[in-house]
Structure 1
Amino acid sequence: MFNRKLRLGFLVLAVLISLTGCRPLSKNSLTLAGSTAFQPIVEMAASSYNLRHKKTLVNVQGGGSGTGISQVEEGAIDIGNSDVFASEKKGIKASQLKDHQIAVTGITPIVNPKTGVRNVSQKQLIGIFTGKIKNWRYLGGKNLKIIVINRSIGSGTRNNFEKWGLAGHRSMVAQEQSSTGTVCKIVGATPGTISYIAFPYISNKIQPLSINGVKPSKQNVKTNKWKIWAYEHMYTLKKNDKNTRAFLRYMMSNNVQQKIIPKLGYIPVSSMNFKRSENGTLSNSEGGRAKVDGSHTNGS
């Protein structure tokens, strides 16, 4: 009887190990999920952290900002990654969560290089995405029909582009894509197309648009001259364990802030000259406060 129970115990242990990637379950494991835009940073940081802390296993999953925020609120995961504020998601009790802002990403409208346009006003940008301007010739470009490519409803990139780039206007009904890579391929291959992406995905196959003469650059984001940008958030419950706190400290370390984040094309939150609240209120390092212009224009 004893040997039979012993064999059964070993069998259960073997099943558990196989279900956890040939690694015994650990009380020191952390699970993170959410924003796919933020995911490259988190995955690289988690890999580095796992090498430095052998007794802690950090698991990183995607799912989108809404998934990350809702799952951390439910206690299903340790950290929820998001590129929007938790209070912007319906049904979320943001007061129960703690916001850790790790990085910043700029967002820019992009067009096919054959369009012949490199700069628009914000009013013109709104006209394009609301369907009022239908041909590039009206903006000094080629005689090409404007083809709008949107990100999917619920996308953090779309939410931030409409909020800061379109001054709160909703984009017209148009083709939607969930993948940034697909957006870049379509815009790069199709004359007349326009969409929007995060800075790290800019390539020579697409043309970023300046707005009101301001270029979409990291430096202009840091000084808030370019206002279409977003925080990459890590949300936790207000009460969290020491392993979670240790990983969050690592995300703010020099290795992540000065090496991993810039390497991937994002901006360390520690490099920003201003801090911006959800409603657009700015505070600088001296503690002074300024209000973003109500029109959210991108003028210098």
Structure 2
Amino acid sequence: MKIKKRILASGIIGLAFSSILVACSSGANDENNKQLTGTLTSVGSTAMQPFVEEASKSFMASNPGVQINVQGGGSGQGLTATVNDTADLGNSDIFAEEKEKIDASKLIDHKAFVVGIAPVVHPQVGVTNLTQQQLIDIFTGKVKNWKEVGGKDQAIVLVNRSESSGTRATFAKFALKDNQEFRGNGAIVEDSSGTVRKIIGQTKGAIGYLAFSYIDNTVKALTLDGVQPTNENVTTNKWLVWAYEHIYTNTNGKNKQLEDAFLKYILSPEIQNGLVKKLNYIPIIDMKVERDASGKLK
């Protein structure tokens, strides 16, 4: 009888211990298997758009409960939408502090990577290099024909981004030395980098500017004062026309957990060394210099 009681007691204890193990195991699995759900809206820079679209696709593939809607519209639109909390992520080629009527105190800056920006022309203008002063003269309307800078006898056709564009702001600040005469008057103005590339590639005499990630064999990137527009030259600031690509979030964002997860994914070595480089952007870690919002080297 005592033996039976001992066996019964041992069985009860064993069953209880097993139950504890199962409960603990189940709790750990629940935590590990907790899936992200929800929707993010990403708005802004078209220079960043190819990257954000690709990163979103791969993130959603790993997190089927997540939907990320990516829109362009320019840096200004992205910053405004994020301040107003109508977008979760505001993609910008410029610091929020640089944009008029943007309350930067409502935003958190996440530097995602760096992009170089270059003047690009129709491949048959007959010019491969310009001095910075020649470039300024072209975009301020002082030079109107390519023959004036060593090219063909052909009228210059300016192709600009809209005033809300961070690519335009960066180009004006660093390529044109923030020249106050640059207003884009008389130029073709487009909201999309992709459209700018298409127009330049199809329009004789055209000149505009694009992020390195948009430059292909339909257009010709120019050297400036003999300096090549390459990622390597950007990392040392030898090529001056570059910008941080920022993803801004609202300080009171309603989707903070999902925002943080996506931003952590973007800054992961997998994405920085993979997708960032694949699309001809520059990982933050590769930069040998650092600039502040005023454009000065730190």
The TM-score normalised by the length of structure 1 is 0.80
After superposition, the Cα gap between the structure-2 partners of 1:259 and 1:143, relative to the gap in structure 1 and judged at 3 Å, is same
Once residues 79 and 48 of structure 2 are traced to their aligned partners in structure 1, the CA distance between those partners, rounded to angstroms, is 13
User: Which 10-residue stretch deviates more, 171-180 or 150-159?
Assistant: 171-180
Once residues 66 and 194 of structure 1 are traced to their aligned partners in structure 2, the CA distance between those partners, rounded to angstroms, is 23
Q: Which runs of 5+ in 2 are unaligned?
A: 1-35
After superposition, the Cα gap between the structure-2 partners of 1:244 and 1:178, relative to the gap in structure 1 and judged at 3 Å, is closer
CA contact (8 A) 1:104 1:229 kept: yes
Once residues 277 and 244 of structure 2 are traced to their aligned partners in structure 1, the CA distance between those partners, rounded to angstroms, is 14
Within the candidate set 103, 112, 117, 1:107 is matched to 117
Identity among equivalent positions (%) equals 47
Aligned twin of 2:188? 175
Aligned twin of 2:294? 279
CA contact (8 A) 2:73 2:192 kept: no
Within the candidate set 183, 191, 197, 1:184 is matched to 197
User: Which 10-residue stretch deviates more, 173-182 or 206-215?
Assistant: 173-182
CA contact (8 A) 1:162 1:171 kept: no
- 1:258 deviates by 0.8
Within the candidate set 206, 209, 221, 2:222 is matched to 209
CA contact (8 A) 1:30 1:244 kept: yes
Q: Which amino acid aligns with 1:147?
A: V
Give 1 or 2 for the bigger CA radius of gyration: 2
Aligned twin of 2:59? 49
Once residues 49 and 154 of structure 1 are traced to their aligned partners in structure 2, the CA distance between those partners, rounded to angstroms, is 28
Within the candidate set 203, 206, 209, 1:193 is matched to 206
RMSD across aligned positions (CA): 1.9
Write the mapping of 1:136-285 to structure 2, written as runs, cut at 5 A. 136-169=146-179, 170-173=182-185, 174-239=187-252, 241-283=256-298
Q: Which runs of 5+ in 1 are unaligned?
A: 1-25, 284-300
CA contact (8 A) 1:41 1:260 kept: yes
- 1:122 deviates by 0.6
Write the mapping of 1:5-24 to structure 2, written as runs, cut at 5 A. none
- 1:62 deviates by 2.9
Once residues 46 and 172 of structure 1 are traced to their aligned partners in structure 2, the CA distance between those partners, rounded to angstroms, is 34
Deviations 1:229-281 (Å, cap 9, x if unpaired)? 11211111235533222221111001211111111221122221122112112
Q: Which amino acid aligns with 2:230?
A: S
Once residues 88 and 193 of structure 2 are traced to their aligned partners in structure 1, the CA distance between those partners, rounded to angstroms, is 27
After superposition, the Cα gap between the structure-2 partners of 1:244 and 1:118, relative to the gap in structure 1 and judged at 3 Å, is same
CA contact (8 A) 1:131 1:172 kept: no
Q: How many corresponding residue pairs?
A: 258
Once residues 147 and 71 of structure 1 are traced to their aligned partners in structure 2, the CA distance between those partners, rounded to angstroms, is 33
- 1:172 deviates by 4.1
CA contact (8 A) 2:37 2:65 kept: no
Once residues 63 and 171 of structure 1 are traced to their aligned partners in structure 2, the CA distance between those partners, rounded to angstroms, is 19
Aligned twin of 1:293? none
